[in-house]
Amino acid sequence: MSGKKNKWIAFLLALVFGYLGLHRFYLRQNGLGILYLALALTGISFILGFIDAIVFLVMSYDRFNHKYNKQWYEEGYRHPRRFPMRSKQRKRIKLRNKERSISDLKERGILHFKAFELEEAAEQFRRALEQSPKDVPLHFNIACTYARLEEAEAAWMHLRSAVEMGFDDFNKIDHHPALAYLRIQPDWLSQREQLQSDGRENADASVGQPLFQQLHALSQARQQGILTAEEFRTKREKLLKRNVSPPSETKNTDSA
């Protein structure tokens, strides 16, 4: 039988027909069901069925679902009457499943990219971007993929998106081997200059933001893998020095 299994049906089957193993067949444990049938003439399956009925009786709904309804348990299933799921719980579960899906797509895309299966890599990255369009590393990865596919226009488009969203490692753009195709194009210098200009505009815009917003943006870049731990510490220290005046300077300013 397919579908979600009910604890009380399993209990009744084990209590009444346990010696025939019907509860095991119900729970899709066909091997055990056949074993119970084989032991029916010996009387052992009567004892086993009764024990199973007691186990089902005292087993909690969560434990039963975790064991016999694993797919619902993993998606956050809880008994609707005893454990009603709140809307916040549903949202958290939905978000967790979405993040897991994006992470899987990223990993598959990177594996395809390293194996030079570029069309497959681009497809995985595109599917991930559909779910997370503001993911900066994804834009950079797909730009590298398109560059290796010699699709310059698409590569530049995603590089611009990455820069607009905070990517500022232009050294990587200048030296990353996957972007070599872009660097041999006639319009490399003009495109690179425009990219640098867009990056400066974004940097200037961020300077006017409150300190906590700038720190939050740095933290997000670290979590997304845009910055290494060392780069994150360096940028955070510079940001704090720029926004927090030393005590001596504060004193002079007040006196003036």
Query: Residue 179 in contact with residue 173, Cβ under 8 Å?
Result: yes
Predicted pLDDT at 182: 92
Q: Which fold has domain 98-194?
A: 1.25.40
Predicted pLDDT at 237: 73
Cα(71)–Cα(75) distance, integer angstroms: 6
Cα(249)–Cα(211) distance, integer angstroms: 19
Cα(167)–Cα(224) distance, integer angstroms: 11
Predicted pLDDT at 140: 92
Give the burial string for 177-205 (b: 16+ CB within 10 Å, else e): ebbebbeeeeeeeebbeebeeebeeeeee
Residues of the chain with pLDDT under 50: 1, 75-77, 79-84, 204-208, 245-256
Predicted pLDDT at 153: 92
Hey, where are the domains in the chain? 7-74, 98-194, 208-244
* pLDDT tens, position by position, 188-215: 999 888 888 876 665 544 444 565 566 6
